[in-house]
Amino acid sequence: MNFDLSDEQQLIKSTAREFTDKEVVPVAGPNSANHHFDLELVQKIADQGYLGAIVPREYGGAGLDYITYALICEEIGRGCSGMRTVVSVQTSLVCSTILKWGTEEQKQKYLPLLCSGEWLGCFGLTEPGAGSGASDQKTRAVQQDDGSWRINGAKMWISLANHAKLALIFAQTEPELKHKGLACFIVETDQPGFQPTPIDGKMGLWASDTAEIALDDVIAAPDSMLGQVGDGFKVAMSALDSGRYSVAAGCVGLCQAALDESIRYAQERTQFDRPIAGFQLVQAMIADMVVRTEAARMLVYRAGAVKDAGRPSTLETSIAKYNASEAAVWCANTAIQVHGGAGYSSDHPVERFFRDARVTTIYEGTSQIQQLIIGRAVTGIDALKPMVLERAPA
C-alpha cells in the first residue's frame, strides 16, 4: 500500500492550495456575509480546470483521476464550502452523469460548455415530498406526438438552479411502473416553464445558490433522456456515488480549515499568562481534530483509489462521506470551543465553518441514509426496501 501522492498529484494539490489562498479565502467571508453567489469566482475556478477535473480531455475536461479530484475538492472546500458545492454539483452530479449515461452526441454538445464554465448545470432530484425516498418522484414526464417530453412538477433544494442553463431533471414517465418508470432528462432551462425561485433563510452555505424549481409544461427534446425509461434511479445513484465523494473531500478541507484556525488562535490567545495552546485540555481538542481530519482524509483517498481502479465504490464512498461530514461538523464545532466567545462571532471564520459544515450530513444523502447503505452491505438486508414478514404456519 502506497500512501504517497504522485509528483503530478502533489503539484496539482499545491497549485489548488495557492489558488484557494489567493482567490477563494479572501472573498469567502464577505461573499458569505453578503449572501453573494460569486460568478466571477466560479469562472476563475472553471479556468483552473476544476469544473471538469474528472472529465476526459476530449470533452473539454482535465482528464484527472479521482484522488487528484479529491485534492482539488479538499482545497476549495478549505476555502469556501459554497464554492466547493459548485465544483461538486457541476463536476460530479452533472458532468460525470452525462459522461456515464450520455450518448456521444450529448457528451459532445454539453460537456465542453460545462467544463469551461460557460454553462452551469444543476441536478434536480429532490422534491418537496421526495427527499431521502428519492424514488417517490411526483414530477411527471409525458411523451408528445413529436417524441419530445412535457414535464410538470416541482423540485426542492436545487443547488445552482437560479443560474443553471442545463438541468438534469428526474421524472416519472408512468406512475404505475413505480421506480421502473423513472427517467432522467437533460433540460435546457431557457424556456418559460422552468421557473427557479431562490431559497432564503438557509442556516449556512450562504455563498452558494439554492432554489426551488417549478416545472410548468417544460419541454425536453426527444433525444434528451440519459439512459432509458426505468434507468432514472440508477442514473441518480451513480451521480450520487461521485457527488458524495466530492462532498467527503470538501469536508476534509473544512476539517483542515477548522484545525488551522484553531492552532493559530490557540498559539496567539493568552490566558493565565500563557498561550491557551499550552493547556492540556486545549491540546486535547486540537489533537482530536487532527485525528478526525487525518482519518477522514484516508477514507476519502481509499474511496478514490477504488474508483480509480474502476471497481464499484458505493460502500467506500458512503463510509467516506458519512465519516467526513460528521467529522467536519465536529471539527467546526470544536474550533468554536477553542476560540471561546470569539468563535461565536462572525469576526472569526469558524462560525461560518460550522454553519457550512452542518448541511454536509444532510445533502447528497443524510448520515442516516449512509448508515443504511453501510448496514445493507454488511448485513445483506436492505432496510430501505419494504420487508415482508412471513407468518409461521398455525
Ligand X SMILES: Cc1cc2nc3c(=O)[nH]c(=O)nc-3n(C[C@H](O)[C@H](O)[C@H](O)COP(=O)(O)OP(=O)(O)OC[C@H]3O[C@@H](n4cnc5c(N)ncnc54)[C@H](O)[C@@H]3O)c2cc1C
> Where in the sequence numbering do the catalytic residues fall?
364
Site for ligand X in 167-226 (CB under 6 A): 202, 205, 210
Is the CB of 204 or the CB of 343 nearer to ligand X?
204
Window 65-104: contact mask with ligand X (x via CB under 6 A): ------------------------x---------------
Which of 125, 166, 186, 296 forms a contact with ligand X (CB under 6 A)?
Answer: 125
| Chain centroid offset of residue 257 CA | 18
Nearest alpha carbon to residue 70 among 87, 86, 55, 57 = 87
Which of 48, 90, 159, 162 forms a contact with ligand X (CB under 6 A)?
Answer: 159
Q: Report the distance separating Cα 247 and Cα 88, nearest Å.
A: 7
> Does residue 319 touch ligand X according to CB under 6 A?
no
Enumerate the H helices of 58-123 as residue ranges.
66-79, 81-87, 96-101, 104-115
Strand partners, 151: 141, 218
In sequence order, which residues have a C-beta less than 8 Å from that of residue 261 and are 6 or more positions away?
A: 335, 339, 348, 349, 350, 353
Window 325-364: contact mask with ligand X (x via CB under 6 A): ----------------------------------x--xxx
Which of 132, 228, 337, 346 forms a contact with ligand X (CB under 6 A)?
Answer: 132
Cell of 28: 469567502
Closest residue (Cβ) to ligand X?
A: 131
SS3 category, 199? coil
Q: How far is the CB of 250 from ligand X (least distance, A)?
A: 13
Q: How far is the CB of 347 from ligand X (least distance, A)?
A: 25
**Residue with the three cell numbers 431559497:** 199
The DSSP line for 369-389 is HHHHHHHHHHHS--TTSPP-P
Residues found near ligand X in the complex (CB under 6 A): 89, 122-126, 131-132, 157-159, 202, 205, 210, 359, 362-366, 368-369, 372, 384
